Amino acid sequence: MKKPTLIEIPKISDPDGRGNLSVIEKNIIPFQIKRVYYLYDVPSDSSRGGHAHKELQQFLIAVGGSFDVVISNGETKEVFTLNKPNKGLLIPSGYWRGLENFSAGAGCLSLVSDVYKEEDYIRDYEEFLSYKSQ
């Protein structure tokens, strides 16, 4: 099974100091993007996510501010802090994910491999553990 991985997104710096540009093309992430959504105005004491996907793959980018992504494979947990818009976290299917510790002004861009399908979600952690032990 593939593991969650931080991926560098190419950054093009403007020589005149007018900012940076990053581009995500098909060689950056290993799936065709079928849906894009974003989170913003999340209070710092709130959490998002709290689910796993059976098939869907996801690529998360902090386009502003920072937040933590807590990943579980059912046995261990790992925390990834996203705080640079030119670095994203690839989350393969079969991992529980939660997003927390949002900074003021944080924005999370999510690029996903499929359209919304409720049947692909596992929203209960005990059910997730059972799914992983099959």
Q: Just list the catalytic residues.
A: 51
Q: Which is nearest to 130 in space by CA: 94, 103, 92, 77?
A: 94
Placement of tokens 């553990």 in the chain: 129
Q: For the purposes of burial, counting CB atoms within 10 Å of the CB of 31, is it exposed (0-12), middle (13-18) or buried (19 or more)?
A: middle
Q: Where are the beta strands (DSSP E) in the chain?
A: 5-8, 11-13, 20-22, 35-40, 48-53, 58-64, 67-72, 77-82, 87-91, 96-100, 107-112, 121-122
